[in-house]
C-alpha cells in the first residue's frame, strides 16, 4: 500500500524528482499520488511510495510513452500505467526517460517544423533545401533527446561524432510526419551511420545487428556489436527497418543480411 497521505520525506523526495526531470507543475495530490505536468512536454505523471525507503511508483498518463519505458508495468490501483522502482535513482532515471520520450513524441518535432517553415516559400530548389535543412536539424535534436545523446551501439556521446540516421530516407518518405518521426531514425556514431546508410548493416525485428556479406573483414571487426547487444526498438522502428532491409537486397546474387547473434 502506498502512503496516503505521503509523509514529509516522501513528498519532498518526489517533488525533487519531478522538478529535477522537467515536471515542474504541481497539480496536487489525490489518494496518495502526487500529480505533475511539464511546461515543455505533453502528458501527466503521478508518483507515490510505500515508505521513505521505497519502493517508488511512477504512473505515466501517455500510453505511447509508457510502452517505451522498457520496464514491465505493475498492477495496482493507480491513475495510469504504473511502474515500480526499488530505489530513488531508478525512479530518477525513469523520469528522465519519460521526459525525453515526451518531448520526442512523433507529433512534437512535426509541429515545431510546421511552425518554423510556415512562412518559408517552397517554389525553388534552393528554398526546398532550406526547408529540408530546418527539418533535419529538428530531427537531429529529437533523436538526441530520444537516445539520450548517446550512440546505443558504441556509447559515444561526442555530438560531433553522432549522426541522425534516417531509416527511410528523407527523399523516400511519404510525408513530413514520417520524415520527422523519431521512430524513423537512429542516433549512430559516424562509422555506424555510414555503414547503415550504405546498407552494409541493418537490424532485425529484435534489434540485433545484421551485417551484409559485402562488408570487408576489417570493417566487420570495427562494426562488431557487443555480445548479446540489441537496440531497444519499437514496432514503429521495425516497420521502417523492414523498408531499409528491402532496399539493399543485392541484384548481383549476393546473400541477404547475416545475423551477428
Check residue 229 and give its pLDDT.
Answer: 80
* DSSP structural state of residue 207: S
**Separation between Cα atoms, residue 203 and residue 52, nearest integer Å:** 43
- Residue 260 pLDDT: 59
8 Å CB contact between 183 and 240: yes
Q: 88-103 and 125-146 helices cross at what angle (nearest 10)? A: 170
pLDDT tens, residue by residue, 222-256: 998 887 788 888 888 999 999 998 887 643 444 56
Mean pLDDT, the chain, integer: 89
pLDDT tens digits for range 151-161: 999 999 999 99
Residue where the block lists cell 513524441: 105
Predicted TM-score (pTM) of the model is: 0.68
Q: Where are the domains of the chain?
A: 8-103, 107-259
Give me the residues of the chain with pLDDT under 70, please: 106, 249-261
Q: Are 16 and 49 in contact (CB under 8 A)?
A: no
- The sign of the dihedral angle between the CA atoms of 132, 133, 136, 142 is negative
DSSP state for residue 230 in the 8-state scheme: B
Q: What is the pLDDT of residue 250?
A: 44
Amino acid at each position: 500500500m502506498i502512503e496516503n497521505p505521503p509523509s514529509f520525506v516522501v513528498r519532498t523526495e518526489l517533488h525533487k524528482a519531478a522538478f529535477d526531470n522537467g515536471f515542474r507543475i504541481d497539480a496536487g495530490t489525490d489518494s496518495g499520488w502526487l500529480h505533475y505536468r511539464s511546461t515543455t512536454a505533453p502528458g501527466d505523471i503521478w508518483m507515490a511510495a510505500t515508505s521513505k525507503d521505497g519502493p517508488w511508483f511512477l504512473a505515466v498518463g501517455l500510453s505511447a510513452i509508457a510502452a517505451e519505458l522498457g520496464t514491465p508495468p505493475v498492477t495496482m490501483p493507480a491513475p495510469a500505467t504504473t511502474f515500480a522502482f526499488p530505489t530513488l535513482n531508478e525512479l530518477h532515471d525513469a523520469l528522465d526517460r519519460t521526459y525525453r520520450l515526451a518531448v520526442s513524441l512523433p507529433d512534437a518535432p512535426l509541429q515545431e517544423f510546421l511552425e518554423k517553415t510556415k512562412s518559408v516559400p517552397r517554389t525553388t530548389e534552393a528554398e526546398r533545401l532550406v526547408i529540408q535543412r530546418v527539418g533535419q536539424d529538428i530531427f537531429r535534436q529529437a533523436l538526441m533527446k530520444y537516445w539520450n545523446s548517446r550512440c546505443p551501439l558504441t556509447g559515444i556521446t561526442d555530438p560531433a561524432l553522432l549522426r541522425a540516421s534516417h531509416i527511410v530516407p528523407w527523399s523516400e518518405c511519404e510525408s513530413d510526419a514520417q520524415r520527422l518521426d523519431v521512430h524513423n531514425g537512429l542516433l549512430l556514431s559516424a562509422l555506424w551511420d555510414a555503414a547503415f546508410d550504405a546498407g552494409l548493416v541493418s537490424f532485425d525485428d529484435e534489434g540485433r545487428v545484421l551485417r551484409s556479406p559485402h562488408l570487408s573483414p576489417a570493417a566487420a571487426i570495427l562494426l562488431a556489436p557487443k555480445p548479446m547487444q540489441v537496440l531497444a526498438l519499437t514496432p514503429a522502428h521495425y516497420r521502417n527497418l523492414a523498408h531499409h532491409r528491402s532496399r539493399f537486397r543485392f541484384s548481383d546474387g549476393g546473400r541477404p543480411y547475416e545475423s551477428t547473434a
